[in-house]
Amino acid sequence: MLKSTFTAFYRSFVRHPLYALLNLLGLSLGIAVFIALSLFYRFETSYESWSPKLPQIYTIGISFHFPGMTDDTGIGSMGGLLEELKTAYPQTDGTRYWPDSVIVHKGADVFNEQINLVDANFLIFFAVPVVYGDPANALSDPSHVVLSASLARKYFGVTNAVGRTMVLNDEEGLKTYTVSAIVADLPKNTEMKLDILRLLTPQRTALRSNWHHWGSVQLATYLKFKSRTEANALAVQFPAFTDRQAGQSFGPDVKPHKMLELKLIPLADAHLISPKLKAAVISLGVVGIVALALALINYVNLATARAGLRAREVAVRKTLGAAPLALRLQFIFEAMLTLLLAFLVALSFVELSLPLLNSAGGLSLKLDYHADALWIASVLAIVMVAGLVAALYPAFALSAFKPAQVLASSRTPGGGRTAGILRTGLAMVQFTAVAVAFILIMGFLLQIRHIQNADIGFQRSNLMIVNSIRDNAVTQSQRDAFVAGANALPGVSYVTIANAIPGDTSSVNNSNIVRPGQVDSATESPTVNYSIVGPEYFQLLGAKMLVGRVFDVQRGEDQMWDDKTTDKDRVYSVVISRRAARDMGFPTPQAALNQTARFNDHTVRIIGVVEDMRFYNPNEPIPAKLYLFDAHASESVVGMVRYQGLSAPAMREKLQHLWRQIAPAVPFDVTSAADNLDKYYKPERDRTHLFTIGAGIAALIGCIGLYGMAAFNTGRRVREIGVRKVLGASAGRVVGLLLRQFLYPVAIASLIAWPLGWLALERWLSQFDDAIAMPLWVFPVASGVALAIALVTVAGVAFGAASTEPGKALRHE
């Protein structure tokens, strides 16, 4: 019996290649999309799973509730939080991770690397895979460093570099360290970069004045609990703990926990803490499921359609004594074989397309048959179970044929009215999905194009950001020399220093601003995001001045900002943004001009209002901005260079040459503003690419299904077509008749897609601060494209059938 089933399966492939190809291609494509997006979903939802302790580890997140600011939860905490927690709750088991930049000296060469200052228990806490060295003691000595295997190879040429020394230059100065352990390279889906680890010492924390400043965020704090209950027990004490520890940090009458909400977040959830990112990952997972569902619908449609063609075989088998159960098992077994084959083909599709997918989606997915065997098996199991459910209907439909009727009739049975309705219904579901996909693809691409080309308040092209300037090793005279030198370069129009940097939030500060007569209250006063900028900053950016003027180093009243001054009577000139003027309650920008306010214990006078500039994520509102002036600012500032008439690489090279002359001991690090900003745009663009690929393939599957259906139904109607032609119908009328049969459900489906597409697109657009208006034209266009594809798909089959000679058609059966 098994052999007979194999034979039937094999023959159906060999002898009906078109059907077999359509069926296999549709299924394989659907399964391939499902596998690829499952890989993506697994990658995104299994961050930090390299740590065997993951289920027990939580990280601290903070949600700030300041007026005018979004209260999204961010991962990170004040540097000294762990110490305060340990004092209050001595049983606390925690560790910290503080990324910083470091200069590595190797002979005469210098390299920029990321160093992570961690507590001594870090390796044990996370059970970091240690390749060489003793994890318990590797970080006990401040003169030790722990390297990753790849970094050890980079600097020492071997993995086992334990005992070797390396020279590092960071905030603590130039020192020699001994390598005490080597850790394995972590997989890509981690937020941690364990390239260089060093002990976080009290000497280092002493360099930070804000180590215990409630409201600051410096590093990541991790806590470990034996159970969720234990974690929850601590979390409920956070508000009281915050109020105790923060005291009057947010004002005399303000409960600190109302402003700063500490949260305990399972480490496994930390990567997708942003609801928008989580929603994006889930929607791509849904696309995978939809693609699989569409492929299975295809399978059901084609299998039931072909069931009609196999009716005679079924009737013969029944006549020869096959019981319905035996036939059902045969068809289910055939379905399982088809699915298995499709799964194998799908795996090879995924293998072949992963490089393309990774580059289109900015991903690093891979299929490792050895390590992922269990995962692949479970995906196969899901596909097979879903396939089994899908195969039940055709199996029952086939085995239900009455042999006497089938053998007596010369017409191929179609499976009856129910099967016909089912097939039409399923085709409608498919085409609804296809039309929704088209609506969303067009909507997504329009929005992506919009945010890429939108006026963001400044000119992002031809603008270099020299990050090296902010290195701790750079002196004031070197900074000044670089600004002067860059200004003298041909093609350079402006040079300045500032810590308001497009696409860089590393030096973002927020504070209250209070107008005279207003109450100074953390819960009510507007919050501004403030930055320090040098001369010609606004000219350099090409910012639009709404009223007033920009800073002028020649004017005495534009005093250099000095946060530490004790002279409380000094009045500083500030420039604010349109949003800041609005938040401060000025009816127009004009009204804000020359007004004073209290800011950070100083009096400031507004000398100008500039248009809002979008420096950060396009999904988030542009913050209210306050600009302070300091021509020689040193803290966290970068150099900014505006140029014309030469290419980015040429400009880069000139700046690098200059830098090498001024500060050879500090590696040159420059980015363009456009590249810096692109990190906000790229994820959205990448996800749109992924979605477009997935939805495009889903649409292709729908077309394959429709083609199969058209071919089958037309095949069944050959005799009818013959009769109609004998009675005088023209080929055109026959084509019209056949097309109507298919286009009717497709037309209805594309209309059903409108409200669904509207809801999905509206929801997606609502996550952007600067969203396009609902593009109404995409709805009819999506329907039109779906109909056109259906038309082209079916027309070929219909023309073929309509042009058959009637005599041949009538002899057909």
Partner 1 sequence: MTSLIELQNITRLYRSDEVETTALHNISLHIKRGEFVAIMGPSGCGKSTLLNILGTIDRPTSGAYLFTDASGAQQDLARMNEVNLARHRARHLGFIFQSFNLVDDLTIYENIELGLLYRGGVKGGRRPIIEAAMDKVGIGHRARHFPHQLSGGQQQRAAIARAIVGSPDLILADEPTGNLDTENGAQVMQILQTLNQGGATIIMVTHSQSHADQATRQVDILDGQLVASVAQVL
- Interface residues with partner 1 (CB under 8 A) are 1, 4, 7-8, 11-12, 15-16, 312-313, 315-326, 402-404, 407-408
Judged by beta carbon, residue 322 or residue 427, the one nearer partner 1 is 322
Q: How far is the CB of 326 from partner 1 (least distance, A)?
A: 7
Residue 272 token pair: 């997708």
Angle at 300 between CA 297 and CA 303, to 5 degrees: 145
Judged by beta carbon, residue 141 or residue 313, the one nearer partner 1 is 313
Q: How far is the CB of 286 from partner 1 (least distance, A)?
A: 39
User: Cβ–Cβ contacts within 10 Å for residue 386, how many?
Assistant: 19
Judged by beta carbon, residue 679 or residue 808, the one nearer partner 1 is 808
How far is it, in rounded angstroms, from Cα 777 to Cα 761? 13
Judged by beta carbon, residue 305 or residue 546, the one nearer partner 1 is 305
Q: How far is the CB of 378 from partner 1 (least distance, A)?
A: 35
Q: How far is the CB of 303 from partner 1 (least distance, A)?
A: 15
Judged by beta carbon, residue 206 or residue 408, the one nearer partner 1 is 408
Q: How far is the CB of 723 from partner 1 (least distance, A)?
A: 21
Judged by beta carbon, residue 203 or residue 410, the one nearer partner 1 is 410
Q: How far is the CB of 404 from partner 1 (least distance, A)?
A: 4
Indicate the angle between helix axes 275-309 and 311-319, nearest 10 degrees.
60
User: Which residue type is seen at 530?
Assistant: Y
Q: How far is the CB of 689 from partner 1 (least distance, A)?
A: 43
Q: How far is the CB of 403 from partner 1 (least distance, A)?
A: 5
**Residues 639, 495: contact at Cβ < 8 Å?**
yes
**Residues 693, 360: contact at Cβ < 8 Å?**
yes
How far is it, in rounded angstroms, from Cα 65 to Cα 61? 13
**Residues 720, 412: contact at Cβ < 8 Å?**
no
Residue located via tokens 């601003």:
513
How far is it, in rounded angstroms, from Cα 411 to Cα 408? 9
Judged by beta carbon, residue 318 or residue 717, the one nearer partner 1 is 318
Judged by beta carbon, residue 258 or residue 312, the one nearer partner 1 is 312
Judged by beta carbon, residue 323 or residue 759, the one nearer partner 1 is 323
Which residue, among 343, 411, 417, 334, has the nearest Cα to 377 in the 3D structure? 343
Q: In angstroms, what CA-CA distances link 92 with 62, 212, 378?
A: 19, 18, 38
How far is it, in rounded angstroms, from Cα 35 to Cα 37? 6
| Residues in Cβ contact with 319 at an 8 Å cutoff, skipping those fewer than 6 apart | 403, 407
Which residue, among 678, 643, 673, has the nearest Cα to 658 in the 3D structure? 643
For the chain, give percent helix, strand, coil, nearest 5.
Answer: 50, 20, 30
How far is it, in rounded angstroms, from Cα 540 to Cα 512? 28
Q: How far is the CB of 15 from partner 1 (least distance, A)?
A: 5
User: Which residue type is seen at 297?
Assistant: I
Q: How far is the CB of 298 from partner 1 (least distance, A)?
A: 22
Q: In angstroms, what CA-CA distances link 581 with 284, 595, 598, 608, 707?
A: 40, 10, 14, 10, 61
